[in-house]
Amino acid sequence: MKYTIEDVAREAGVSITTVSRVINGNYPVKKETRERVEAAIKKLNFQPNPLARSLINKRTNSIGVVVPGLTNMFFTEVVHGIERIMRSRDYDVYISDSRGRADSEKRRINKFLERYVDGIVLIDPQTENMKNGFIEEVSKKIPVVCINGYHENVRTNFVLSDEEKGTKEALEHLISLGHKNIAFIRGESSYSYDIKENLYKEYMKNIGIEPIVITVQDGNNIDVVENTMRVLIELSSKYQLGKEITAFFACNDLMAVGVLNGCYELNLKVPDDIAIIGFDNIILSQMTNPKLTTVDQNMRLLGERAAQKLLDLIEDKNLYSDTDVIETKLIIRKST
Amino acid sequence: MKYTIEDVAREAGVSITTVSRVINGNYPVKKETRERVEAAIKKLNFQPNPLARSLINKRTNSIGVVVPGLTNMFFTEVVHGIERIMRSRDYDVYISDSRGRADSEKRRINKFLERYVDGIVLIDPQTENMKNGFIEEVSKKIPVVCINGYHENVRTNFVLSDEEKGTKEALEHLISLGHKNIAFIRGESSYSYDIKENLYKEYMKNIGIEPIVITVQDGNNIDVVENTMRVLIELSSKYQLGKEITAFFACNDLMAVGVLNGCYELNLKVPDDIAIIGFDNIILSQMTNPKLTTVDQNMRLLGERAAQKLLDLIEDKNLYSDTDVIETKLIIRKST
DNA sequence: CTGAAAGCGCTTACAG
DNA sequence: CTGAAAGCGCTTACAG
């Protein structure tokens, strides 16, 4: 059904060696011969079998991307950035959803390894897999770039957004508005949450207010919106919202929308009774009412930078660890 | 670095043929021998090279999925359904985003073909590629299942939700509420829009009202929310909203949210001034305020059914055309 | 500049 | 039940 290199060779009256050479352009071939081969390729619409090529080259021209949740638009945006770069270089990108679970992330990565992808991008990798050395192990075998999820003693490559600065600006914004009783909402296990929580606690300490940290499940799946809403409603029986808590810092926009929805259910006015600030600046944050104040992470750029770095690593085979940082930006809208 | 079948053979003191046989379990192997080989495999943590296997088997244990836009949660939900089934059968699923363009869809499909995937799922395929015979062509080479996007004379396999029934119920719901001046919002080129538009026009004809059809760009990308909002605002200079138009039927929830946001900007009350009904029942439809009335498509089931059918096709090599239909359900919430 | 041959890591008739 | 050999569709030294 499909033609092979042999068919082309016969058609052009040369050896398969020669055909291979014109396909790859890696050896000199007489102009006339080359043209004959090219004509044959065109005539048969021949496409070299990538399986056979990869078996020899140890290169598949494909990369894997693992995300914690495809329903968080943050990740789809980052993935678009990655795809833009990779496609222009004729790489395929395979996307896999770990659903925010460390064991699943591990399995997804191993699958990619088995499939001989040329490199892997990990977006917001699970803390557990950073700590237990798994990601470092993988990084020894194959180029790896992590987007966010920084860990000090792990030798791999990072492209980070400056979440620290973003968090500080967000917190200071809230404080400048007169808020003291700020609650903090996070998901379970990622560095992005940890770093924000630490900063939050620090600020609260400085103001002399007892921190309130709320952890919701599966922070990167869109279901978290509903969950957060429910959590907020429960919270309203423990705290006097609008008084004991006047503002929420949510670790991502999904959770922030959850808080917003909860406020609506509880008949609390945003931002008059409760101020809300999110993180990421996913499109959803502009679709709410009021629109969300949030911290832009430049998701597209995050993806592009990571892809570029991965390509460099694949080409150089230089697996050493390295870190890039991308600026964040506070976007003040109507929820604060 | 990685072990091959030869290493295992040496370790176990047998031929590679025997090792292959215990891996595949397709020929009898003496128990004792088998155990020795299994021990060797375990010891070396041997994983057969899938590239080499696929080269021979003409099977990659992977399928491709093409979606018009990953940022429409409708598709991510369907994809989850597909993945659930495929993973349980140890298939990899590759996802590719066509961005709702026919040429891009074509390219994505060709990429999959080149990669020797075992089958392809097309979600809401582009009308153009159905009409020009491309999808039928592909369906002759390899198992293909289309989710929605039905076309009469195309021989391929379909899993459809009963969009017709869903549309009727939605329209009748609006009419039963006393609406006559209903406007219709759709995206560009997919069967799902066409079928709904036809039905809409039919109903309008019966009521004796001039239909108003509005087409927005890239209906399956989340940007459509903004676009639709803008379109609505423009529309408000042509029509007296709340009077000349009292209800909107949107072909998907994304557009419905856009209308909702537009109404907010225009200070129109939903549903008092304007009623809005969406389609799909993506989670976003519950996150708005008011919550959207919409038509549930049972996206998860759509994906699962398609995956199951694709597996059957892959195993039977029976490429004949076939159609499954899945029920829809009107979900009445607060926007109507 | 060109070709015959070996080899990538497997599977599968074929023979025993 | 087991193994030697051919072959999947390519690439790449090696020789000319």
Question: Tell me: domain B58-161+299-327, CATH 2.170.190.11, correct?
Answer: no
Q: Is B49 on the interface with A (CB under 8 A)?
A: yes
Fold held by A5-48: 434 Repressor (Amino-terminal Domain) (1.10.260)
Q: Which nucleotide is nearest to A18 (CA to C1')?
A: C2
> Do the first three CATH levels of A5-48 and A57-161+299-326 match, i.e. the same topology?
no
Homologous superfamily of A57-161+299-326 in CATH? Answer: Response regulator (3.40.50.2300)
In chain A, the percentage of residues whose pLDDT exceeds 70 is 99
Domain extents in chain A: 5-48, 57-161+299-326, 163-296
| Distance (Å, whole) CA B161 – CA B154 | 18
CB B72 within 8 A of CB B282: yes
Residues of A in contact with B335 (CB under 8 A): none
In what helix (H) or strand (E) does residue A172 lie, and over which residues does it extend? helix A163-176
Q: CA–C1' distance B5–C7 (Å)?
A: 15
User: Whose CA is closest to B116, among B136, B141, B84?
Assistant: B141
**Nucleic strand C under 7 Å from the C-beta of A19:** no
- The residues of B between 25 and 64 with beta carbon within 7 Å of nucleic strand D are 27-34, 52, 55-56
A72-86, A144-158, A318-332, range with the lowest pLDDT: A318-332
Of B220, B161, B167, nearest to B189 (Cα)?
Answer: B220
Name the residues in A104-163 having a C-beta closer than 7 Å to nucleic acid strand D: none
Residues of B with CB below 8 A from A94's CB? 92, 94-95
Contacts of B250 (CB under 8 A, 6+ apart): B185, B228, B256, B258, B259, B276, B277, B278, B279
- Helices B299-316 & B73-88 angle (0-180, nearest 10): 40
User: Which superfamily does A163-296 belong to?
Assistant: Response regulator (3.40.50.2300)
Strand C footprint nucleotides (protein C-beta < 7 Å):
1-5, 7-13
Q: Is pLDDT of A320 > 80? A: no
- Residues B26 and B135: their CA atoms lie apart, in Å, by 35
Model confidence at A317: pLDDT above 80? no
CA pair distance B212, A48, nearest whole angstrom: 51
Rounded CA-CA distance A96/A74 in Å is 15
Q: Which positions of strand D lie within 7 Å of protein CB atoms?
A: 1-5, 7-13
Q: Are B304 and B84 in contact (CB under 8 A)?
A: yes
Interface check A141 vs B, CB under 8 A: yes
Distance of A137 CA from C6 C1′ (whole Å):
34
Q: Does residue A277 contact residue A250 with C-beta atoms inside 8 Å?
A: yes
Give chain A's mean pLDDT: 92
How many whole angstroms separate alpha carbon A217 and alpha carbon A229?
12
Considering only CA atoms, name the residue closest to the C1' of nucleotide D8: B56
Residues 13-52 of A with CB under 7 A from strand D: 16-17, 20-21, 23-24, 26, 46-49, 52
**Burial per residue of B255-279, b for 16 or more beta-carbon CB atoms within 10 angstroms, e otherwise:** bbbbbbbbbbebebebbeebbbbbb
| Full DSSP string of B127-139 | HHHHHTSHHHHHH
Tell if the pTM clears 0.85, that is, is over it. yes
Nearest to A50 among B50, B115, B284 (CB): B115
Q: What is the average pLDDT across A41-45?
A: 92
Joined tokens for residue A187: 């998901």
- Cα A153 to the center of its chain, rounded Å: 21
What's the average model confidence in pLDDT over A283-289? 85
> Is the CB of A289 less than 8 angstroms away from the CB of B289?
yes
Q: What confidence score (pLDDT) does residue A170 get?
A: 97
Q: Which nucleotide is nearest to A12 (CA to C1')?
A: C2
From chain A, pick out residues whose CB is under 8 angstroms from the CB of B289.
261, 264, 289
**Beta carbons of A283 and B50 less than 8 Å apart:** no
Measured distance CA(A154)–CA(A136) in Å, rounded: 6
Phi/psi of residue B217, nearest 5 degrees? -85, 150
Q: How many angstroms separate the CA of residue A3 from the nearest CA in chain B?
A: 12
Pairing of strands B329-331, B294-296: antiparallel
For chain B, 336 residues long, give each residue's pLDDT as a single digit of tens. 689 999 999 999 999 999 999 999 888 888 889 999 999 999 999 999 999 999 999 999 999 999 998 888 899 999 999 999 998 998 988 888 898 899 999 999 998 998 899 999 999 999 999 999 999 999 988 999 999 999 988 999 999 999 999 999 999 999 999 999 999 999 988 889 999 999 999 999 999 999 999 999 988 888 899 999 999 999 999 999 989 999 999 999 999 999 999 999 899 999 999 999 999 999 889 888 889 999 999 999 999 999 999 999 998 766 567 899 999 999 999 999
Q: Among residues B303, B300, B307, B305, which one has the least CA distance to residue B118?
A: B307
**What radius of gyration, in Å, describes the C-alpha atoms of chain B?**
25
| pLDDT recorded at residue B26 | 86
Q: DSSP 3-state assignment of A205? A: helix
Say yes or no: Cβ of A59 under 7 A from any atom of strand D: no
What is residue B331's three-state secondary structure? strand
Residues in chain B with CB shorter than 8 Å from the CB of A266 are: none
- Distance, angstroms, CA B11 to C1' D4? 19
Q: Using DSSP, state whether A275 is helix, strand or coil.
A: strand
β pairing state of B212-215 and B247-250: unpaired
pLDDT score, position B164:
95
Query: Nearest 5°: phi and psi at A329?
Result: -150, 125
**Option in B51, B80, B226 nearest A55 (CB):** B51
* Residue pLDDT, tens place only, A172-201: 999 999 999 999 999 988 889 999 999 999
As a whole number of angstroms, the distance between CA B58 and CA B201 comes to 49
Q: Is A49 within 8 Å of B116 when comparing Cβ atoms?
A: yes
Q: What 3-state class would DSSP assign to B182?
A: strand
CB pairs under 8 A between A and B: 81
Q: Of all helices (H) and strands (E), which one includes residue A186?
A: strand A182-186
> Is the CB of B20 within 7 Å of strand C?
yes
Q: Do A71 and B73 touch (CB under 8 A)?
A: yes
**Under an 8 A CB cutoff, do B70 and A76 touch?**
yes
